């Protein structure tokens, strides 16, 4: 809130009531900086599969009008945000939790290159600099024939690995505007397949980590929720 960031909640048509409920739950002072947008605003109508959603996350237009500053993407209901990103994290080009296939030395998914492991992380909860998105994001208008052709042409389909490949190319070209974060910074920014002392968010850790680690990650946000709830009860008494 103190950074002046905006919030955009993007939803499919059937989820409109839930998206509006998120907006209504915000403090009044924050609603002016919040935006609820249906996928139809971006030219996506009818059934929309993950491939199209991921392509939308590659597209410059998706991020326009949100506000200045770094872009945080929380990609679903399996993300729990625990704390604001640190000042150091906000200065990075692209952050996300390391992928499982990087952690365990497994085979990279088809169309993915292992160099992605060193230039980014999972898009479930990720940070992307506006300059990076503006330089490499797709230019075509979402939903247009040109955009659909670009979505089919640009591999890999997953936006996070796609951006990681482009960051790798920028680093190879010694583009001083962008830099690849260290594995330590990636792993501490968000937790998924690796535990972390104080990640900004967790993404499906319950699928990978021991129960004790998952509980430890949930304690801090739970304390905030309980404190807010207790304060509300005092104010209403």
> pLDDT, tens digit, for every residue of 79-95?
999 998 999 999 999 99
Beta strands (DSSP E) in 12-165 are: 34-38, 71-74, 79-81, 94-96, 125-128
* DSSP string computed for 124-170: TEEEE-HHHHHHHSB-SPTTSHHHHHHHHHSSSSSHHHHHHHHHHHH
Sign of CA dihedral 21, 218, 100, 200: positive
- For residue 132, give the nearest of 169, 79, 185, 186 by alpha carbon: 169
- Alpha carbon distance 61, 40 (integer Å): 13
Structure confidence by residue, pLDDT tens digits, 125-157: 999 999 999 999 999 999 999 999 999 998 878
pTM: 0.87
Quote the mean pLDDT of the chain: 88
**Cβ neighbours of residue 120 closer than 8 Å, sequence gap 6 or more:** 94, 95, 96, 126, 160, 161, 163, 164, 167, 180, 186
- Alpha carbon distance 14, 182 (integer Å): 40
Residue 159 · residue 58 · CB < 8 Å: yes
Q: Which residue has the higher pLDDT, 112 or 6?
A: 6
- What pairs with residue 191 in β-bridges? 202
Residue 100 · residue 208 · CB < 8 Å: yes
C-alpha pair distances (Å), 61 with each of 41, 74, 140, 146? 11, 17, 8, 14
Least confident of 59-68, 139-148, 165-174, 178-187: 59-68
Structure confidence by residue, pLDDT tens digits, 180-206: 999 899 999 999 988 999 999 999 999
Sign of CA dihedral 138, 141, 146, 147: positive
């Amino acid at each position: 809130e103190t950074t002046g960031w905006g919030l955009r909640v993007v939803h499919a048509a059937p989820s409109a009531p839930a998206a509006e409920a998120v907006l209504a739950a915000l403090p009044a002072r924050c609603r002016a900086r919040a935006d609820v947008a249906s996928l139809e605003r971006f030219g996506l109508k009818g059934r929309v599969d993950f491939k199209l959603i991921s392509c939308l996350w590659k597209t410059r237009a998706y991020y326009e009008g949100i506000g200045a500053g770094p872009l945080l993407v929380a990609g679903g209901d399996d993300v729990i945000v625990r704390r604001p990103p640190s000042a150091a994290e906000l200065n990075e080009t692209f952050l996300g939790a390391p992928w499982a296939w990087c952690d365990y030395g497994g085979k990279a998914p088809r169309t993915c290159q292992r160099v992605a492991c060193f230039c980014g992380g999972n898009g479930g909860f990720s940070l992307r600099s506006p300059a990076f998105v503006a330089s490499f994001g797709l230019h075509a208008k979402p939903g247009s024939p040109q955009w659909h052709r670009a979505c089919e042409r640009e591999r890999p389909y997953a936006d996070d690995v796609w951006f990681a490949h482009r960051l790798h190319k920028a680093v190879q070209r010694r583009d001083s505007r962008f830099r690849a974060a260290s594995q330590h910074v990636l792993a501490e920014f968000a937790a998924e397949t690796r535990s972390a002392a104080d990640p900004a968010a967790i993404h499906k850790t319950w699928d990978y980590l021991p129960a004790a680690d998952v509980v430890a990650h949930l304690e801090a946000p739970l304390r905030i929720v309980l404190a807010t709830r207790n304060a509300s009860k005092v104010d209403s008494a």
